[in-house]
Amino acid sequence: MLRLEQLSKNFGGLPALSQVSFEVFPGQVTALIGPNGAGKSTLINCMTGVLQPSSGRVLFRGAAISSLAAHQIARCGIARTFQNLKLFPRLSVLDNVLTGLTCEAGSSMVMAMLRLPYLRHRERRLRLRALEALDRFGLGDKADWPAAVLAYGDKKRVELARATVGNPQLILLDEPVAGLNAAETAAVGEQLHLLRRAGHTLLLIEHDMDLVMKLADQVVVLDSGQKIASGTPAEVRRNPRVLEAYLGCMEATA
């Protein structure tokens, strides 16, 4: 479904990604793991047009998307969340989630002005869907709050609702449970399981190994910008290079 070919990214001469290639298969959860600074966030920034890759290609359903603008990539059906939250702080929680339906809303000025009845009907349906998405993440009662005043865990879940509400073909999640408490982590984990069971394709960056091992069909391991291993969770767990680069230090700190 999504293929990276020799993707590289330099920041002022310093390589953050070198020649990373792998594939995300439809209906699967692919986990991307690696120690801090490995280049995971940089990778999905390059995939979503937030950053321009220095070289290499990203193919989505066979078409190169690496030269497209971020909004065009989103319109191909790729949604994402950010590690350090990118909500619309001044908008209400409901409006934040509604923006996740931009690709379906159609924002022609003339159409918006004419306010045809069938459009009004469609807008009502979109609002209902946004409210349902908020309910799924337990935020239904905060729909009218400005996003800026929410607690961290709630903000994180608003972003998840925004990324999933439009049924995108591919969802990229950058550390969805980082900073959440145990109860919130369990609730988000539950939602990710539901997404997986519903056949969604996910690329999941996460340091929570429990979650990764339970959810992932395939694990890709990044270290210092290079792919050092990939395979099933069980395979990766046994890989000595991974243990050395990543799991070892995680267990030491855990």
Partner 1 sequence: MPELADFLQYSFSGLTSGAIYALIALGFCVVNNTMGIVNFVQVDFVSLGGMLMFSALFALGLPMVPGVLLAVAGVALVAMLVERFGLRPARSENPLVLIFLTVGLSIILRGLIKLVWGKNRMALPPLTPDLPLEFFGASLLPQALWILFLTLIAIVLLLWFFYRTPLGLSMRAVASNSTAAAVVGIPAGRVRLTSYAIAGALGGLAGVLVTPITTLNYDVGVLLGLKGFAAAILGGFGSFPGAILGGVGLGLLESLSAGYLSSAYKDVVAFVVLLLVLFVRPKGLLGK
Which residues of this chain interact with ligand ATP, rule CB under 6 A?
A: 11, 16, 34, 36-42, 83
| Residue 185 is a binding residue for Mg ion (CB under 5 A) | no
CA–CA dist 185, 152 (Å, integer): 13
Structure tokens at 70: 């971020």
Site string for Mg ion, 27-46 (x = CB under 5 A): --------------x-----
Instruction: Kindly tell me which of 34 and 168 has the beta carbon lying closer to ligand ATP.
Output: 34
- Rounded to a whole number of angstroms, the minimum distance from the CB of residue 81 to Mg ion is 11
Cα-based distances in Å from 52 to 48, 56, 85 = 9, 10, 20
Handedness of CA 247, 37, 204, 3 (dihedral sign): negative
Residue 137's SS3 state is: coil
Segment near Mg ion (CB under 5 A); pick from 49-57, 83-91, 100-108, 212-220: 83-91
The amino acid at 110: V
Q: If binding is defined by CB under 8 A, does position 71 make contact with partner 1?
A: yes
Question: CB of residue 44 vs Mg ion: minimum separation in angstroms?
Answer: 9
- Helix, strand, coil in percent for the chain, rounding step 5: 45, 25, 30
Q: Which of residues 110-149 bind partner 1 (CB under 8 A)?
A: 112-113, 115, 123
Residue 37, contacted partner among Mg ion, ligand ATP, partner 1, none, CB below 5-8 A by kind = ligand ATP
